[in-house]
Chain A
Amino acid sequence: MNTITATESAPVTKKQTIKIGMLLLKLRTFIALFLVVVYFSIMAPNFLSMANLVIMVKHVAIYAFLAIGMTFVIVTGGIDLSVGSIVGLAGMVAGGLIYKGLHLPIFGVTIYFHLPMVIIITLFVGVLCGACSGFLIARFNVAPFIATLGLLYIARGAALLLSDGKTFPNLVGSQEIGNTGFPWLGAGTIVDVPVSIWILILLGAAAAYIAAKTPLGRHIYSVGGNERAALLSGVRVNRVKMFVYMFSGFCSAIAGLIIASQLVASHPASGEMFELTAIAAAVLGGTSLAGGRGTIGGTIIGAFVIGVLGDGMVMMGVSSFWQMVIKGLVIVAAVVVDQFQRNLQSKAALQED
């Protein structure tokens, strides 16, 4: 009610100011990114060097993969807490298949897969994890928070079980078995651009296309905006929910593969807390936790803000304790601004009342 009364005495001439204000608010993530980049390029030498930019984008890409999947989930009004654990599990699955193969005690054999097969199996594991959450949520009406919290523990536990908590080191594969080439994902380049950035571009474009141009995308937004209305309009609500969690698992598996490849090793604890970074990136990018609102482009920019902020602070030598405080402040500020914009928008909508 306070915000309604705030601009009570606004005369009609203020209309223009409100419009400009709305535009600035809509572009706020972009502006934030711009400010962060400008600030660090002044304060930290080498920040704008090509080498540093590439490293930063590679960091950002990891968060961006998770955040893209997370955006769809949040737009349907859900949340996926399991992405970090799936990152860990995916890395362990890929690492295990390369390092010690798939041991089948019944037949007394150990199967080693070719690299493409390893990647497909890993992605499949990610999708399967998402399908589990999706199934619990769509069929049994389990709250997304709880279902994915369960998956968070299960996937992390499974990752630890695969190696008894140890690291799979040196994942270069061996020539005789024919499963070499895994490090290429994390370190290789295509026309001088790292592979992981290419994957980000492809995945981002595909997700943006799904969101804007396909019936599935429309259905995702309608389920989050008003589930009942979507159901009555013939939207297969349960299938949509299944899809978003499966897609989120898929994105997490990609992130897990790339992390393991960059390190040329897989560690069962990798990806811890990533789910929170992914949620933060989506929210920074304007995705509403209430569902129905959010864009892939915004999320990717949000991921960049968080990633650049983190790397820039490291370069400036800010203590990691302060880094956490500052990141927290940025996220809270983003949500406050988001609410502010929402109020302004509903005021504008009142014109028709």
Chain B
Amino acid sequence: MSERTDNDVILRAEQVTKIYPGTVALNKVDFNVFRGTVNALVGENGAGKSTLTKILAGVEAPTKGALFLEGKKVRIRSFHDAVAHGIGMIHQELNLFPNLNIAENIFVAREMTRGRIHIDHKAQMAKAQKLLDRLQADIDPKAEVANLRIGQQQIVEIAKALALDTRILIMDEPTSALSTAEVEVLFKVISDLKRHGVSIIYISHRLEELLQIGDYITVLRDGNLVQAARIKDIDIPWIISNMVGEAADRKLAHTSQSTNEEVLRVENLRLPRVGGGFTLDHLTFKLNKGEILGVYGLMGAGRSELFECLMGLHTEAKGKVFLDGKDVTKGSVGDQIKMGMALIPEDRQREGLVQALSVTHNMTLSSIWKFTKIFNIQGEKLKNAVLGMIRNLSIKVPSPQVLISSLSGGNQQKVVIGKALLTSPKVLLMDEPTRGIDVGAKADVFEIMNNLAGRGIGVIFNTSELKEIIAISDRIIVMSKGKITGELNREDATEEHLVAASAVGHKSVEHTLRQQRGSAEHEYDHSN
């Protein structure tokens, strides 16, 4: 660390401590933000990353410790202080107004006005256009945000931050909702920001990304600073071992437990799209007992819709679905669950959990009929089932009665999994089961998937992380624009294959990927 001079440090947190009632969220942490670089901040959920960034962005005040901006001690007590010092933050959950257009979103609460009353839309549009141009985004500032893709919305968030002359930009998991192509665009934007002297604090669970984009890295664990280093001096195993401590060497071991016995067959499944065409275009595939089937595809490929159809959410879907030989095409969600189909939704906050209820209530929501005699819920039986599930999935929770919202992300995800498992499913659908959870919890989730497959449950899951899908699946289906564009066995799956197949039908991407795809198909022929 000696070679860095203080001049390079634009923002410095010194011995920052944050105490919440009952816990020490940050314990005497030093953190340096270097000028014009990407400063990665990593740690498992609950390590204190969010707390630290909230302190830097003025959302929370530290219990002890001080912040130094350009060497001078500053107090950042509110969002407005942070803005005055040129510090901006892009939260993981985007804070945009879907009902307003891009320019209005960028200038919300600080509208450019004439005489403080009349909004100068023209000037706002021009400024917004300038910002979007700087971000090389080809979007019309008049477009309504509701109509933008997630990746484009992310760009709008960045533009919003830049409109404030931000010198230090905090990005919390900016890529968690982006497709591979969109991530590339974002990275270009980040490099461009760096060239303009903007310093970036970057939080992500995707470690490969950090190596690609980061300059410095700081690892937190349980509220303590573990290590800080230059990215070029380290590698992924270094990050993981520092993040998780002793339990570092848990690898994604996978042995296929697939049988030849069919549990699910989907024939010609199609879901019409509003305005013609199909969101799901004549899908046919099958799943065996004990098999883990990965579904890969870009955003909008129809992965989530496929799961929704299987669960009976889309009554307009056509085609046939057989579960254990029985036709379950027309069932409601409740019917599907009773037949043995269970879904773990992508967005656990919005679709998986009822925040106001306890762990017990959440976990038994789908399977309450199993614990009911006539009207009455059998408390003892239910309690035992919940406690058993907490033990099996090693959910860290003080008591099953606590509110679900008091758990960390990884543990919340396990409760959602527990909810699905309590219905004793034959087929488990997992929509992005590892999104936004830390390395340790990811390994747990994969282990759970393996165990389930071992018990003869068919698992279908999707993820946008290539390495994961290759490591964990027995077989991979690739979807693009609602069609199945590739089906690969575990042995044949490579990242190139998957990327190529997922881009079929995407004109702009297709062009750049044609060469890659050519070689991929060549290889594919070879292996057959």
Q: Which residues of A contact B (CB under 8 A)?
A: 1, 4-5, 8-12, 14-15, 18, 213-216, 218-219, 221-222, 224-226, 228-236, 288, 292-293, 346-353
Residues from chain A with Cβ under 8 Å of B46 in the complex:
352-353
Residues from chain B with Cβ under 8 Å of A14 in the complex:
21
Task: Contact check, B356 vs A215: say whether CB atoms are below 8 A apart.
Answer: no
B408 within 8 A of A: yes
Nearest B residue to A75 via CB reads: B356
Which residue, of A10, A12, A348, A352, has the highest number of chain B Cβ atoms within 10 A?
A352
Residues from chain A with Cβ under 8 Å of B403 in the complex:
349
Task: Contact check, A15 vs B351: say whether CB atoms are below 8 A apart.
Answer: no
Task: Contact check, B372 vs A214: say whether CB atoms are below 8 A apart.
Answer: yes
Nearest B residue to A226 via CB reads: B354
| Smallest CB separation, A280 vs chain B (Å) | 21
| Contact among B21, B366, B376 for A214, CB-based, below 8 A | B376
| Contact among B19, B21, B365 for A348, CB-based, below 8 A | B21
Cα A1 to Cα B81 with chains together (Å): 13
Bitwise, B16-37 to A at CB < 8 A (1) or not (0) is 0001111101000000000000
| Contact among A4, A15, A215, A222 for B354, CB-based, below 8 A | A222
B428 within 8 A of A: no
Within 8 A of A (CB), among B30-85: 46, 50-51, 59-61, 63, 77-79
Q: Other than A214-B372, A215-B375, give 9 A-B pairs with Cβ distance below 8 A.
A: A5-B61, A12-B22, A218-B368, A233-B419, A347-B20, A349-B403, A349-B406, A351-B406, A353-B50
| Smallest CB separation, A133 vs chain B (Å) | 23
Given contacts A4-B60, A5-B61, A233-B419, contact A226 B353 (CB under 8 A): yes
| Smallest CB separation, B52 vs chain A (Å) | 11
Nearest B residue to A213 via CB reads: B377
Task: Contact check, B408 vs A352: say whether CB atoms are below 8 A apart.
Answer: yes
Q: Which residues of B contact A (CB under 8 A)?
A: 19-23, 25, 46, 50-51, 59-61, 63, 77-79, 311, 313, 332-334, 336-338, 343, 345, 350-357, 361, 364-366, 368-369, 372, 375-377, 379, 403, 405-408, 419, 423
| Smallest CB separation, B487 vs chain A (Å) | 27
Residues from chain A with Cβ under 8 Å of B313 in the complex:
231-232
Task: Contact check, A232 vs B22: say whether CB atoms are below 8 A apart.
Answer: no
Task: Contact check, A352 vs B407: say whether CB atoms are below 8 A apart.
Answer: yes
| Smallest CB separation, A12 vs chain B (Å) | 6
| Contact among B20, B61, B368 for A215, CB-based, below 8 A | B368
Cα A215 to Cα B311 with chains together (Å): 21
| Smallest CB separation, B352 vs chain A (Å) | 6
Task: Contact check, A234 vs B337: say whether CB atoms are below 8 A apart.
Answer: yes
Minimum-distance CB pairs A-B, first 10: A225-B354, A292-B356, A234-B337, A234-B334, A225-B356, A215-B368, A233-B366, A349-B406, A351-B22, A226-B354
| Smallest CB separation, A103 vs chain B (Å) | 40
| Contact among B20, B343, B357, B406 for A221, CB-based, below 8 A | B357
List 26 A–B pairs whose Cβ atoms lie within 8 Å, in order of A's numbering.
Answer: A1-B59, A1-B79, A5-B61, A5-B78, A8-B60, A15-B21, A214-B375, A218-B368, A219-B368, A222-B365, A225-B355, A228-B351, A229-B345, A229-B353, A230-B365, A231-B333, A232-B343, A233-B337, A233-B419, A234-B423, A236-B334, A293-B356, A348-B21, A352-B46, A353-B25, A353-B408
